[in-house]
Chain A
């Protein structure tokens, strides 16, 4: 049985967050409503964006530029 998206997300979270500019990893949906892993970048980061895989164990990985997240 293939692992759930939650398990896959959990497995890669620390490594994704260690990449320059990555500030969040979560589970969202693509426009078709299919589950995707979403990596949030503070600002465009070509190096990191180039290195991020398109999928993680079969689940699509999307990149979003979300800006600096501050305590409000």
Chain B
């Protein structure tokens, strides 16, 4: 290794700790100094900062000295470095990161929506409202409890409103589920042969849900960002349609893309404790999510919002139509 480089590395080793104590410095290394956008041949100690500041915004003790032990320094603005991935603590918190009601594990902060002119966090009922168990005013943590989000330090918002999920009534042991299914099967046949005498099962028609959605009001509006990680700002909304290419950023699988393969989907979704809820008018894409991605905003290729992700299997991802979400919660962009 070149002698100059070795000596700079040693100097950095001695001063690194002190540099990292300065506000803003998030990384240090050795590199060629860049002056007026051009790489020079001068080896320097490079300090990466979230945002470049100059006095008086920056106090003297937090200013990186221009020269350390005869070696030039270079300050580079990199923005936050996502070494912690999407499960870390973010302020301001953008869409795509871990979030959750105090009593759950963790889900995803979808995006910001407006209600009565105020910005709210949009995610699922089962993320922000603990599947109907939450009460307005409950604290929401970023990151979520599973990602070491703690009360009170990581509070970011308070539950404002949610659309209750209607769960299927558990069948009593030896219940009539089988009989009902059988009657249905027979009715299929009856339909085909146009029989007038059709078997009537005791039909307990469970309510169909359209959305798994909730909103939370940030404690401080400055703690949230209207951008979504890896995606950017939302342009508008669009109607999800068959064959549409979509994308999302979520806590677990981060940035992924997919295609809408089915529309007008009616689907039975398993929740915790074996509870099942039936949803209608859903959109189905191929596999593009896993546990923890719930609440992700789903967008088309032009950054229009089309859905709110909430469920999936090994081969599918299910999301609510954003139009249904907005009208159920009375929110907009």
- Contact surface of A with B, Cβ cutoff 8 Å: 6, 9, 13-15, 17-20, 23-29, 38, 40, 51, 53, 65-72
- Asked if A69 and B270 make an inter-chain contact with CB atoms under 8 angstroms apart, the answer reads yes
Given the known interface contacts A23-B268, A25-B266, A71-B310, the answer about A18 and B205 at a Cβ–Cβ threshold of 8 Å is no
- Asked if A51 and B188 make an inter-chain contact with CB atoms under 8 angstroms apart, the answer reads yes
The residue of chain B having its C-beta at the shortest distance from the C-beta of A27 within the complex is B264
Query: Main SS of chain A's interface residues?
Result: mixed
- Asked if A19 and B181 make an inter-chain contact with CB atoms under 8 angstroms apart, the answer reads yes
Total A-B residue contacts, Cβ distance less than 8 Å? 107
For B271, what are the chain A residues with a Cβ–Cβ distance below 8 Å?
A: 70-71
Docked complex Cα distance between A15 and B293 (Å): 31
For B7, what are the chain A residues with a Cβ–Cβ distance below 8 Å?
A: none
Docked complex Cα distance between A67 and B313 (Å): 6
Given the known interface contacts A15-B187, A23-B268, A26-B284, the answer about A70 and B181 at a Cβ–Cβ threshold of 8 Å is no
Can you list 5 A-B contacts with CB-CB less than 8 angstroms, sorted by A residue number? A25-B265, A26-B267, A26-B284, A67-B315, A70-B270
Nearest 6 pairs of A and B residues by beta carbon: A26-B265, A26-B262, A67-B313, A24-B267, A18-B184, A72-B294
For A65, what are the chain B residues with a Cβ–Cβ distance below 8 Å?
A: 315
Within the complex, the shortest CB–CB distance from B106 to chain A, in Å, comes to: 11
For A26, what are the chain B residues with a Cβ–Cβ distance below 8 Å?
A: 262-267, 282, 284
Give residues of chain B (159-206) contacting chain A, Cβ–Cβ below 8 Å.
180-181, 184-185, 187-188, 192, 201, 205
Known: A18-B181, A26-B262, A29-B261. 6 other contacts (CB 8 A): A23-B268, A26-B266, A27-B262, A68-B270, A69-B267, A72-B309
Query: Main SS of chain B's interface residues?
Result: mixed
For A29, what are the chain B residues with a Cβ–Cβ distance below 8 Å?
A: 242-243, 261
In the complex, whether B300 has a CB less than 8 A from a CB of chain A is: no
- Asked if B188 and A15 make an inter-chain contact with CB atoms under 8 angstroms apart, the answer reads yes
Docked complex Cα distance between A69 and B126 (Å): 15
Docked complex Cα distance between A53 and B187 (Å): 12
- Asked if A53 and B188 make an inter-chain contact with CB atoms under 8 angstroms apart, the answer reads yes
For B72, what are the chain A residues with a Cβ–Cβ distance below 8 Å?
A: none
Docked complex Cα distance between A6 and B292 (Å): 32
- Asked if A24 and B266 make an inter-chain contact with CB atoms under 8 angstroms apart, the answer reads yes
The residue of chain A having its C-beta at the shortest distance from the C-beta of B272 within the complex is A71
For B131, what are the chain A residues with a Cβ–Cβ distance below 8 Å?
A: 71
Within the complex, the shortest CB–CB distance from B6 to chain A, in Å, comes to: 50
Within the complex, the shortest CB–CB distance from A62 to chain B, in Å, comes to: 10
For A28, what are the chain B residues with a Cβ–Cβ distance below 8 Å?
A: 242, 261-263, 284
Docked complex Cα distance between A65 and B313 (Å): 10
- Asked if B294 and A71 make an inter-chain contact with CB atoms under 8 angstroms apart, the answer reads yes
- Asked if A72 and B312 make an inter-chain contact with CB atoms under 8 angstroms apart, the answer reads yes
Docked complex Cα distance between A51 and B243 (Å): 29
Q: Which of A18, A65, A72 has the most CB of B within 10 A?
A: A72
0 or 1 for each of B295-333: is its CB under 8 Å from A? (1 = yes): 000000000000001111111101000000000000000
Docked complex Cα distance between A21 and B154 (Å): 42
